[in-house]
Chains A and B, each alone.
Chain A
Amino acid sequence: EVQLVESGGGLVQPGGSLRLSCAASGFTFGDFWMSWVRQAPGRGLEWVANINQDGSEKYYVDSVKGRFTISRDNPKNSLCLQMNSLTADDTALYYCARVGRYSLSPTSWGQGTLVTVSS
């Protein structure tokens, strides 16, 4: 069974940093693209970033470019999102998701970790 467990969320002040992690199990982690998707309170879904199987390709939504960095550690079955220069607009539930091998969309999702940016 595919399992994705996010951690690292919390309350951070504007301008601060946070590092999210996602522990993957139940599948061959290194065979799949991975994504971060976020959902602001009471709002819809917003794709944040993608990373390919070996970490050589990374893509970001414009609003986080230059501030967020997605990375992965295949031997440790781990996905990370380093978030810097956080603003209130980054407040959201952040989901880790596995991208379908041939479908270009997230097939499995974690439960999410909540990031709150507030003074």
Chain B
Amino acid sequence: DVVMTQSPLSLPVTLGQPASISCRSTQSLVYSDGNTYLSWFQQRPGQSPRRLIYKVSNRDSGVPDRFSGSGSGTDFTLKISRVEAEDVGVYYCMQGIHGPYTFGQGTKLEIK
């Protein structure tokens, strides 16, 4: 199975400051169609997950533009340009091309 490794696992951030989460996969996530199927999810406390980013860098509808995704191959990053209070929660990366789908361990973002 493809293992997704996130770092850091805990991320204390001051309001208004940037934040960055790394995600690495044990296999390339480039599919035969040329697309890279890496997604990012946010799970706020007590809520269901919500997808933020798909295919590395595409923001879902309604996702603030302070969230951005980048990377290629096996190395990916989620960045928040200026953290707001509503960003508190756990963030997961996920790969969708190698069965079974696999998620990273999650990165818990908290406000300092």
Contact = CB atoms under 8 A, between A and B. Distances in A.
Interface residues of A, number: 22
Looking at chain A's contact residues, is the secondary structure mostly helix, strand, loop, or mixed? Answer: strand
A106 B60 CA distance: 11
A103 B101 contact: no
B50 A47 contact: no
Q: Contact residue range for chain B?
A: 20 to 34
A103 B55 contact: yes
Interface stretch (A20-28, A59-67, A77-85): A59-67
Interface of A: 35, 37, 44-47, 50, 59-62, 95, 100, 103-107, 109-112
Interface of B: 1, 31, 37, 39, 41, 43, 48-51, 54-55, 58, 60, 90, 92, 94, 96-97, 99-106
